[in-house]
Structure 1
Amino acid sequence: MLGVTVPFTCLSCGYIGQSNSWTYLTHDFQMDWEFDSTLDSKLALTGELNLDQNYEFTLGLSFGKTLHNAISTLFQSLNIPFEH
């Protein structure tokens, strides 16, 4: 589970080396594409953050034996100030 303390403005995924974010970002430094899914390959996930209100944010990545466990761990972690 991936979460962040500011909103995403754009999300995408792609095949590594073919349609991944680095391939497109090196072209014009804009996230002006979106793919909904990739199947049966190594993939890359990309997200653009809305930094209009604040340049500081915390990004969290959590794992769990169940989806509920991963979500709970993520939200609990993001609720604690980064300094702590």
Structure 2
Amino acid sequence: MCRPVHFAVVYAINPWMRPDLPVDRERAVRQWELLRQTYLDLGHRVDLLDPVPGLPDMVFAANGATVVDGRVLGARFRHP
């Protein structure tokens, strides 16, 4: 996971991104902390990446997938 201290929406690559609306970074950090703590409380190991200025998308996982019963279920993110 990567703390969202540099998270911003500076361009739109899908219909849900709104560069004209500012990101509430304090809220994003609070939500991130809650998610991280939830994973830890559930017994998961959480690896952290250092956030890098100028790379606002580091907060998102690339190539999302999950493993169920030894099978990888890959995500297919699409928009209309």
The TM-score with structure 2 as length reference comes to: 0.23
| Structure with the largest fraction of strand | 1
Give the TM-score taking structure 1 as reference length: 0.22
